[in-house]
Amino acid sequence: MGGLQKKKYERGSATNYISRNKARKKLRLSLADFRRLCILKGIYPHEPKHKKKVNKGSTAPRTFYLLKDIRFLLHEPIVGKFREYKIFVRKLKKAYGKAEWSGVERLRENKPAYKLDHIIKERYPTFIDALRDVDDALSMCFLFSTFARSGKCHVQVIQLCRRLSVEWMNYIITSQSLRKVFLTIKGIYYQADVLGQTITWIVPYQFTHDHPTDVDYRVMATFTEFYTTLLGFVNFRLYQTLNLVYPPKVSCSNCLDGQGEFSFKSECEEDYALESESYSEKLSALSASLVRTVPSVDEEEVELDHFPVEGEDLEKMEAREKIELELNKQKKLFEGLKFFLNREVPRESLAFVIRCLGGQVSWDKSLCIGSTYDETDETITHHIVDRPSIDKQYINRYYIQPQWVYDCVNGKILLPVEDYFLGVTLPPHLSPFVEESEGDYVPPEKLKLMALQRGEKPQAAAAEEEEEDEEEEEEEDDEEEDDQSEGEDEAEDEENLAEMEAKRAQGKSLSVKVTPGKAKPENRMRAYQEEKAEEKRLAIMMMKKREKYLYDKIMFGKKRNVREANKLAAKRKAHDEAGKADKKKKKKKC
Amino acid sequence: MAAARRHKRMAASQPGFLPLKSNLDGDSFNKKLRKRVNKNKKKNWNKFSDIQDVEEFLDDVRLQERATGGLISERTDDSLFFVDIGEKDEKDKDTQLQTTEKGKRSKPLRIDLILQSNSHIPAPKNVLAFQQPNAKKQRRTLERVAKSAAKGILPRREKLLQLRRAAAASGVSAKERPEAKNNPNRAFYDLWCAGTPETADPYYLEQTKKKLVKRPDRLNEKPSVLPAIEVIAPGGSYNPDFFSHQDLLREAHEVEVKKIKVEEKLARRLAVKEDVATAESTFKEQVEGLIEEEEIEPEDPEVDTEDTVIGPTATQEKKTEKQRKKEKAERIKELQRKAERRVIDKRQQLFQLRSISANLKKQEQRTKMRQAQRKAKQEAQKSMPRRLGRLKFQTPELDVQLSGELASSLRSLKPEGSILKDRFLSLQKRNIIEPRERAKVKRKYKAKYSEKRAFREIQ
């Protein structure tokens, strides 16, 4: 017995946390400055486990920080800068009030400024750390670069964001690392693979801004301040990895073709932008490639090293090689193709995507700076148009809708252009970010795409598109094929399909004939499979009651998934048929 | 006025003076009888001296000066007249001149011609525009500076500049001011390159605050496991697959239904109950108890009133010694019985081992299950927005386009929602910032409105 009585709230969680107001007072900062500091340093509020204890018995909702975090903040040199800035503002106000203009000028010259370099180094000790966190930075930069020059943020910030985002896009183009694009009702999602990191970002459509009122612009501006610094360093490093000159320079190889052309071009540029701006505008046109510090040797295929491996590793290796091959194919998808953008399509996005896949792109001279060839160029292969019809058409090029480009990126193959011709109802634009697991519902368009990727000809589909009034039989045929495709989906095996195909062909050509007997080559396979099935059945029988229960549950879940998928597929078919019937009716009426 | 008159006299006295406007009413003016007025007051001088002739004359002079650049009478004859040889040549020359200047005829716009000043007299200079404020003071300071420069004394600014230059030349760089971080053209360098390792004494660096404090590792963990960019569901595509679009719509629909349910519930709870007083019910209330009802009151159950006693019944009686002993013995006996029972139970447990072990197993299983549940809950919590402040995080409404709103082509697409708001909410969702709302403007006093009279009159 005895000793001092323990006081409440003097140990434990009550001392580990500090309320925001107290932290603010400890740092001697205003609330706005405190917020800014926390954002820059990456210190987040924390929800304590026992709020009432931390809050000294009160249950009022408060924002808490960890005391250690705040102590860490005390060492930050920027805090001093914030205080200096506060004093600067005070002095400036005073000078204004007294109309001491020379004083104002002197103060302005000595305006305190701070750098964030050390914070970035501190928060991201290695380059890869920074790259992992660049998603946010990119989205914010792309967003701010589309802002109008209104009073919502400084013009300089907008310009900086624009510069950084253009640099990023140029890097992605040069490194050809774009993987996925998704056009949504919100904006355009891009996904790229940069130095092994998957980076996703969203870009708003142009001219879509109404400034929402319930967003704290000051907070967002602080984030942008940090992210622009981060992105600047990341860009610099990325350019270095590719031996590109930083700040980026447009290579003038195409300008040097002929003197006459060059002068003509410069004249155009004068029309478009001021001399001081034309450089950055040209860069943002994304049509020209960048200058390298080391003149690039014709890029030779970097082949993966082969190591003698066995068993599982071999399989993995093969899979990896397959992926690598696919990637290379995707990178060179548009190589040799020449695109021309009509003026109603989103120029920047399309130019970015096309150039990422190695295509050439141009547009009307009056649309934007940096067009490389005219509409009349005979070598143009694809003309991207987004209007119902066009007056003057050239025979030797495809007139297609912009979705084709994006779908090609996602499908990793050149899709048949027929579905995307002018005035044709487009197939749905599927999300490349969805990965269906086995047994899920897969939209038929995706199935078609997967078949195309495997290199099969979509005859049935094409026929469906072209000939609308088909015979009933043919429709049945289609259905059969559909069924089969579903089956194949479950099996996920190409060979299986081929087998079935062959079987069907046999079945059709079946005639009453006696043929010499053949040794069945698949017998062995079947026996093996049967044996396996038998083993499985026995294993199930041998299961303990509890395990059996679990197993049944799992199987039931799987079956349910399949059932639902089937239901959806059936629904879709019904829907399609209804659509077809409507079409027929319309045709009859016509 | 006097000066003008003098001027007139002077001009008129000259021999070749030709007034441009002939003065017709000059004679009638002379004939008029002059009114007699006192001229001892300046007011009268102005009032009754007729100066129209002078003004007209001066107007004429000004007109001449404007039109020809001087008095016509002072011009030489050569400048006024020319020998008319023929018009043709000059016209040709004129047209030639105009055509040869450029390929096309550059004819000035009529609007410019109208606006051009055709006066021969240059506009007077604005004196104030050329005056410098504080000119005298500045001149004096310049003189003083020059004087001191002659003696070899330089002004402070100059001195500092020279010092800086000397420092730069000798290689000692002056203290650099940090550049603004949003300056688009600041220098580039690689932040993550391995620089030269610090060679100075770490203790010195620490004490002079040149070494930054190490960031705790805990701070590099993200407060939420959610990804930075959450990609919209496949139904959010601009040209979605029918079923995924329906899925998204259903999701949005469910959210909406839930909201409506909550609202309905609130309305139901707040609703005024239905038993509002009617005329009939009030009347009934008023006559309550006055009218003898036909119903027979239930008869009181048979209550034996004779036995009821109020208050404590049993008076405490002292126990006898015998009773006490008996009770004590009973108590001891009971305790013994219980102890025995316990021993027997323990012995019996040996035979219950199976059921006990089963029980234990059950208990263990239960704890394990609870642990798993707790763990799962914690995992789920990691991706949930936490309560970080006064406000709770509100999940934003799903951005959907109804089937009718879907755009037929990329060109006619109308974007939904705002990405800025999305980003902001994502930061809140990932526990990076606490949810906030816009501060409301508080008024100390109520605003007072009054109509202006002008406004009232209109109405």
Taking the CA of residue A424 and the nearest CA in chain B, the distance in Å comes to 11
Q: Which residues of A touch B431 (CB under 8 A)?
A: 44-45, 47
Across the interface, of B177, B237, B416, the residue whose CB is closest to A428 is: B237
Chain B residue numbers with beta carbons less than 8 Å from the beta carbon of A61 are 387, 389-390
Cα dihedral A82→A87→A88→A94 (10° resolution): 150
* Distance in angstroms (rounded) separating the CA atoms of residues A394 and A369: 24
Contact B420 A211 (CB under 8 A): yes
pLDDT tens-digit readout, A78-95 = 999 999 999 999 999 999
Nearest by CB: B419 against A186, A216, A387 = A186
Structure confidence by residue, pLDDT tens digits, A202-233: 999 987 667 788 888 899 999 999 999 999 99
Q: Which residue of B has its CA nearest to A202?
A: B229
Tell me what percent of the residues of chain B surpass a pLDDT of 90. 27
A110-119, A202-211, A392-401, B48-57, range with the lowest pLDDT? A202-211
If pLDDT is split at 50, 70 and 90, which confidence band does A476 have?
very low
pLDDT tens for residues A263-282? 344 445 555 556 666 677 77
Task: Give the model confidence (pLDDT) of A67-126 as tens digits.
Answer: 999 999 999 989 999 999 999 999 999 999 999 999 999 999 888 988 888 899 999 999
Tell me the pLDDT tens digit for each residue of B196-208.
667 778 888 888 8
pLDDT at res. A294: 65
Q: Tell me the nearest-neighbour CA distance from A238 into chain B, angstroms.
A: 10
- The answer on pLDDT for B37 being more than 80 is no
pLDDT computed for residue A483 by the predictor: 43
CB contact under 8 A, B411 and A43: no
Cβ separation of A386 and B411 shorter than 8 Å? Answer: yes
Whether the predicted pLDDT of B9 surpasses 80: no
Surface of B (409-438) touching A: CB under 8 A: 409-411, 413, 415-424, 427, 431-434, 436-438
> Each residue of B392-434: pLDDT tens digit?
998 888 888 888 888 888 888 888 888 999 999 999 999 999 9
pLDDT at A143: 92
CB contact under 8 A, A236 and B190: yes
Average pLDDT over residues B34-52: 80
Spell out which residues of chain A touch residue B244, defining contact as CB-CB under 8 Å.
431, 443
Which positions in chain B touch A246 (Cβ < 8 Å)? 188
| Residue from A44, A111, A129, A209 to probe the interface with B (highest B Cβ count within 10 Å) | A44
Which has the higher per-residue pLDDT, B164 or A521?
Answer: B164
Among A355-364, A380-389, A413-422, B30-39, whose mean pLDDT is lowest? B30-39
DSSP-assigned beta bridge partners for residue A244: A292
Mean per-residue pLDDT, B211-217: 86
User: Which residues on A lie below 8 Å from B436 (Cβ)?
Assistant: 216
Report the range of poorest mean pLDDT among A61-65, A272-276, A286-290, B434-438.
A272-276
Let me know: does A72 contact B215? Beta carbons within 8 Å: yes
Looking at every residue in chain B, the average pLDDT score rounds to 81
| From A68-82, A148-162, A274-288, B124-138, the region with the lowest mean pLDDT | A274-288
Q: In chain A, what residues touch B423 (CB-CB under 8 Å)?
A: 136, 139-140, 143, 220
Selected residue with higher pLDDT from A251 and A66? A66
ipTM: 0.75
Tell me which DSSP letter residue B105 carries: -
Angle at B209 between CA B203 and CA B212, to 5 degrees: 90
Give yes or no for a contact between A440 and A568, defined as CB atoms under 8 angstroms apart. Answer: no
Mean pLDDT, residues B272-297? 78
Cis omega before residue A247 (within 30°)?
yes
A213–B239 C-beta distance less than 8 A: no
Mean pLDDT of A41-59: 91
Q: Do the Cβ atoms of B411 and A345 come within 8 Å?
A: yes
- A428 contacts in chain B (CB < 8 Å): 237, 239-242
Q: Let me know: does A415 contact B439? Beta carbons within 8 Å.
A: no
C-beta separation of A410 from A430 below 8 A? yes
For chain A, the average pLDDT equals: 80
CB of B209 less than 8 A from some CB of A? yes
pLDDT at A390 over 90: no
Tens of pLDDT, residues B300-344: 555 454 555 555 566 678 889 999 999 999 999 999 999 999 999
Please give the pLDDT value at position A482.
Answer: 44
Candidates A113, A211, A213; nearest CB to B180: A113
Query: Which residue in this structure is represented by tokens 């300046």?
Result: B42
Please report which confidence band the pLDDT of residue B382 belongs to, taking 50, 70 and 90 as the band edges: confident
Query: How many Cβ pairs closer than 8 A exist between chain A and B?
Result: 229
Cα–Cα distance, A263 to A255 (Å, whole number):
9
pLDDT band at A508 (very low <50, low <70, confident <90, very high): very low
Looking at chain A, the whole-number percentage of residues with pLDDT higher than 90 is 32
Chain B residues lying within 8 Å of A571, measured CB to CB? 243
Which of the two residues, A460 and A392, has the higher pLDDT score? Answer: A392
Distance between B225 CA and the closest CA of chain A, angstroms: 13
Taking an 8 Å cut-off on Cβ atoms, the answer to whether A117 and B191 are in contact is yes
- pLDDT at residue number B141: 92
pLDDT value at residue A562: 92
End-to-end CA distance of chain A: 103
Residue of B213, B387, B415 lying closest to A185 (CB–CB) = B415
Chain A contact present for B229, CB below 8 A: yes
CA of A155, closest CA in chain B: separation in Å?
Answer: 10
Task: Write the DSSP string, A242-300.
Answer: TTB-SS--B--TTTTS-HHHHHHHHHHHHHHS-HHHHHHHHHHTT-SPBPBSSPPPPPP
Given a cut of 80, is residue A303 above it in pLDDT? Answer: no
pLDDT, position A234: 93
Out of B220, B243, B410, closest to residue A443 by CB: B243
Which has more confidence, A151 or B374? B374
pLDDT classification of A256: cutoffs 50, 70, 90: very low
Question: Is A215's CB within 8 Å of B410's CB?
Answer: no
Selection from A506, A507, A485 nearest residue A494 by Cα: A485
Indicate if the pLDDT at residue B195 is higher than 70. Answer: no
Q: A214 CA to chain B: closest CA distance, Å?
A: 6
Contact A345 B410 (CB under 8 A): yes
Tell me if residue A222 falls in helix, strand or coil. helix
Coil/strand/helix, residue A510? coil
Percentage of the residues of chain A whose pLDDT score is greater than 70: 79
Is B247 touching A (CB cutoff 8 A)? no
pTM check: above 0.80:
no
Strand order in the sheet with A197-204: A178-183, A187-194, A197-204
Per-residue pLDDT, A34 = 95
**pLDDT the model gives residue B13:** 52
**Is A212's CB within 8 Å of B223's CB?**
no
Contact call for residues A82 and A36 (beta carbons, < 8 A):
yes
Mutate to test the interface with A, among B141, B222, B397, B432 (most CBs of A within 10 A): B432
Q: Which of B182, B419, B423 sits opposite A156 (nearest CB)?
A: B182
B137-161 residues labelled b (16+ CB within 10 A) or e (exposed): eeeeeeeeeeeeeeeeeeeeeeeee
Contact A567, A439 (CB under 8 A): no
Contact A127 B192 (CB under 8 A): yes
What average pLDDT does the segment A184-193 reach? 92
- B347 shares contact with chain A (CB less than 8 Å): no
Q: Do A184 and B237 count as a contact with CB atoms less than 8 A apart?
A: yes
Chain B residues with beta carbon closer than 8 angstroms to that of A123? 215, 220
Which of chain B's residues have a Cβ under 8 Å away from the Cβ of A212? 418, 420-421
**Structure-model confidence comparison of residues A268 and B244, the more confident one:** B244
The answer to whether residues B238 and B410 touch, using CB atoms and an 8 Å cutoff, is: yes
Q: What is the mean pLDDT of residues B177-184?
A: 57
Check CB contact of B236 with chain A, cutoff 8 Å. yes
pLDDT band at A308, cuts 50/70/90? Answer: low
Residue A548 has pLDDT above 60, yes or no: yes
> Do the chains contact at A214 and B437, CB–CB below 8 Å?
yes
A38: tokens are 């926390």
Do residue A185 and residue B236 have CB atoms under 8 angstroms apart?
yes
Predicted pLDDT of residue A83: 93
Q: How many residues does chain B have?
A: 459
